[in-house]
Amino acid sequence: MAQVPTENAPERSLTFPHPPTKKSPHQPLLKAVDVRRLGANEKVLLDGSSLELCAGDRVALAGPSGAGKTLLLRALALLDPFDSGRIEWLGAPPRAEDVPRFRRQAIYLAQNPVIDESTVAHQLEQPWRFASADGADFDPGRAARMLTEAGRDAAFLEQVGSSLSGGEAQLLALVRALLLDPRVLLLDEPTAAMDGVTRQAAELLLSEWLAADSGRAWIWVSHDPQQLERTCARELSMEAGRLS
C-alpha cells in the first residue's frame, strides 16, 4: 500500500457547517414518499419510509443489520425497485430517460464497491465515457490531488483492481464519486474497510466536498456511532424496515 508519510501531509482539520437553525424554505433535493417494498412470503422490507433531504443536511441513518438501511439508500438512488410510493428529485419523480443523469447527482456509495481489473486511473476516468457526462472532461490533476490528500502517491494510479485492499477499493469509489461533483451522497458504510489514517482522510475529503457548495447534502450509514457523531447533524433510525 503506497502511503505518503503522515508528517509530510498538509495539516487539515475536520470541520462541518453548522445546520441551519430554521428549516430551509427551498424544496428538498431528494424526497421519499411512503416507499414500501415486500420480499419473499410478503415479508415487509421497507414499511412506508418517508424522508426529505434538503441542501446542507448531514443525516445519519442508524439501525441494526437487516433493518433496511441499504434497501432504503438504494431505493433513493433508483437502483432497486419498490412496490409503492415514490422518489422525488427537486420536486418531481425523475423520468426514465433522466435516471442516468440523476444517479450522477445522487450517488450511492456501497460498502463493497464494484471494481474491475483495470488500473485505478482508468476506473477514475470511466464515468466520463458515458453519455450522462454531457461532454464534461475528466480532470486527472484533481484526482491525483485527492489521492495525495488520502496518502496515496502516483504509483497508486497504476495499480489494478485485483491488487486493491477493501479499504483502497472504497477510497477509489469515494474519489470517483467526488470528482463527479454530485449534489447528494448516499453513503453506505463507505469507510468501513479503511484503516484509521485513510478513514480520517476520507472524512476530510467529504467535509471539503460539503463545504464547497451549500447546495449539497448526504445520508450516512455507519455502525460506528462516533463517526456519525463527527459527520452528521441529525439522526434517523430504522428497525424492521420502518424509518423513524
- Amino acid of residue 42: E
Asked if residue 240 has pLDDT above 60, the reply is yes
* Predicted local distance difference test score (pLDDT) of residue 24: 46
Residue 8: exposed, middle, or buried by beta-carbon count in 10 A (0-12, 13-18, 19+)?
A: exposed
Read off the pLDDT of residues 176-208 as tens digits, 9 standing for 90 and up.
999 999 999 999 999 999 999 999 999 999 999
* Predicted local distance difference test score (pLDDT) of residue 220: 98
Per-domain boundaries in the chain: 27-243
Percentage of the chain lying above the pLDDT 90 cut = 84
Asked if residue 99 has pLDDT above 70, the reply is yes
* Predicted local distance difference test score (pLDDT) of residue 136: 86
The number of beta carbons lying within 10 Å of the beta carbon of residue 154 is 11
* Predicted local distance difference test score (pLDDT) of residue 15: 52
* Predicted local distance difference test score (pLDDT) of residue 22: 42
8, 72, 78, 82, 88 from 96: Cα distances, Å: 48, 19, 10, 15, 13
Asked if residue 19 has pLDDT above 70, the reply is no
Handedness of CA 155, 160, 165, 170 (dihedral sign): positive
* Predicted local distance difference test score (pLDDT) of residue 4: 38
pLDDT band at 14 (very low <50, low <70, confident <90, very high): low
d(CA 224, CA 226): 5
Asked if residue 35 has pLDDT above 80, the reply is yes
Assign domain 27-243 to its CATH superfamily.
P-loop containing nucleotide triphosphate hydrolases (3.40.50.300)
* Predicted local distance difference test score (pLDDT) of residue 131: 85
> How many CA within 13 A on the CB side of residue 218?
31
Residue with cell 443536511: 57
Sorted by sequence, the CB contacts under 8 Å of residue 156 that are 6+ apart come out as 2, 120, 147, 168
Read off the pLDDT of residues 114-127 as tens digits, 9 standing for 90 and up.
999 999 999 999 99
Read off the pLDDT of residues 119-151 as tens digits, 9 standing for 90 and up.
999 999 999 998 888 888 999 999 999 999 999
Give the mean pLDDT of the chain: 90
